[in-house]
């Protein structure tokens, strides 16, 4: 059976330069080109383009495509796409009239060249256009929303054109066991011989409820494998750092899942906190990495009270049927049922009241861990809780 097609093309077209001679030539050329120091958002876009996650885009979008994506969820050529992929900056002095520039990495010491870009256009983004894009992506203009705060501060000039990517920023060095490109994940799925593959998105350590949700999804779909795919890029203050999450997830998989049934991987992107639109973007790049099914939970990719609990699922009903080949598994909150002695999906336990579940808020759990108190085993695996308690204690020292 053939693997699921990438989004918008028959073959995956990663923008990383794999040919060693060409890589060497470009790296050499980049040293003599005018440089642009990217912001973290544009750098993350380059990493995603390089790894094939943003297939079939050839580079950064121009303003017309970005606005079309915001208004109609497709580029002007008709490619379904939910969130514009931009290179915004205020620093166009250095670029001048150059046709090719070196894009430098803001997140690695010494700002090495991340990619070489061919400049097709430099356009000024008006206040009105920035407002329109912000509202379309995030559903709000509230500056207290972390995604809005970041997006509106990136710069007022959009540089568009194709890029050739030369490295994967800090992700390969910092997370050698976890960071994977869409190309690598496809290859690994093929090696496993998996046909039905469920992807699970996370930016947090996984509690019992997440673990059981993945298990339920695999059982219900008769899946061959699960790809836990964690965000490794920038988060908002207070979120748990990637290396701690990574350790928690690996421990859980090692102890509680059958061998060779789960791949623990990560991708290099900064969190947008864009709720529904980000859920669609998540589905696009999970299809590109070869997953056939994607779990969209309650409050997926949300923050605060900006989105309704199931908005990120409902948005899939508004897109054209043929927009994506990947299928969505819609999940409700999962929690431990005291009545049944196991984790259930809350909407599948109609005879339960709130008191019948073990429910702890994130704040409450952080408080407990900070005091060295393990949450109940029905909520968090003891081995995972231990890693988190050690982390919180190290923060207090």
Residue written as token pair 């969130």: 83
Pairing of strands 197-202, 225-231: parallel
Instruction: Check: CB of residue 228 under 8 Å from CB of residue 202.
Output: yes
- The DSSP secondary-structure symbol of 169 reads T
* Other CB atoms within 10 Å distance of the CB of residue 208: 23
Q: How far apart are the first and last CA of the chain?
A: 54
Kindly name the residue from 5, 100, 203, 215 that is annotated as catalytic. Answer: 203
Distance, in Å, from the CA atom of 117 to the CA atom of 357, rounded to the nearest integer, reads: 53
* Other CB atoms within 10 Å distance of the CB of residue 22: 11
Per the annotation, the verdict on 203 as an active-site residue is yes
- The DSSP secondary-structure symbol of 285 reads H
Distance, in Å, from the CA atom of 279 to the CA atom of 316, rounded to the nearest integer, reads: 9
Instruction: Check: CB of residue 381 under 8 Å from CB of residue 252.
Output: yes
Task: Provide Rg for the chain, Cα atoms.
Answer: 21
Kindly name the residue from 111, 156, 204, 250 that is annotated as catalytic. Answer: 204
Residues labelled catalytic: 203-204
């Amino acid at each position: 059976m053939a693997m699921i097609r990438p989004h918008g093309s028959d073959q995956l077209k990663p923008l990383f330069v794999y040919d060693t001679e060409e890589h060497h030539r470009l790296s050499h050329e980049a040293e003599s080109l005018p440089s642009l120091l990217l912001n973290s958002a544009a750098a993350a876009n380059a990493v995603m383009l390089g790894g094939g996650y943003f297939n079939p885009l050839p580079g950064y979008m121009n303003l017309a495509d970005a606005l079309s994506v915001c208004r109609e969820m497709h580029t002007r050529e008709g490619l379904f796409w939910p969130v514009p992929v931009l290179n915004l900056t205020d620093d166009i002095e250095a670029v001048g009239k150059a046709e090719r520039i070196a894009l430098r990495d803001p997140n690695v010491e010494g700002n090495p060249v991340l990619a070489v870009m061919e400049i097709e256009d430099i356009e000024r983004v008006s206040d009105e256009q920035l407002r329109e894009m912000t509202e379309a992506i995030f559903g709000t203009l509230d500056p207290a929303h972390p995604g809005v705060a970041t997006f509106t501060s990136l710069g007022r000039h959009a540089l568009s054109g194709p890029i050739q990517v030369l490295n994967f920023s800090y992700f390969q060095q910092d997370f050698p066991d976890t960071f994977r490109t869409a190309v690598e994940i496809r290859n690994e799925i093929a090696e496993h011989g998996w046909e039905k593959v469920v992807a699970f998105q996370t930016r947090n350590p996984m509690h019992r409820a997440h673990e059981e949700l993945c298990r339920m999804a695999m059982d219900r779909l008769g899946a061959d494998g699960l790809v836990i795919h964690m965000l490794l890029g920038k988060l908002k203050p207070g979120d748990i750092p990637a290396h701690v999450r990574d350790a928690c997830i690996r421990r859980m998989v090692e102890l509680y899942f059958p061998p060779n049934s789960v791949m623990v991987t990560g991708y290099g992107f900064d969190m947008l906190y864009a709720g529904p639109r980000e859920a669609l973007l998540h589905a696009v790049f999970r299809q590109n990495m070869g997953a056939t099914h994607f779990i969209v939970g309650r409050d997926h990719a949300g923050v605060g009270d900006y989105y309704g609990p199931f908005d990120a699922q409902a948005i899939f009903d508004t897109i054209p049927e043929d927009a994506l080949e990947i299928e969505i598994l819609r999940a409700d909150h999962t929690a431990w049922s005291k009545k049944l002695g196991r984790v259930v999906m809350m909407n599948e336990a109609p005879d339960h009241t709130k008191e019948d579940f073990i429910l702890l808020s994130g704040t409450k759990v952080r408080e407990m861990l900070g005091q060295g108190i393990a949450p109940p085993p029905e909520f968090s695996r003891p081995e995972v809780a231990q890693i988190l308690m050690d982390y919180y204690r190290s923060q207090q020292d």
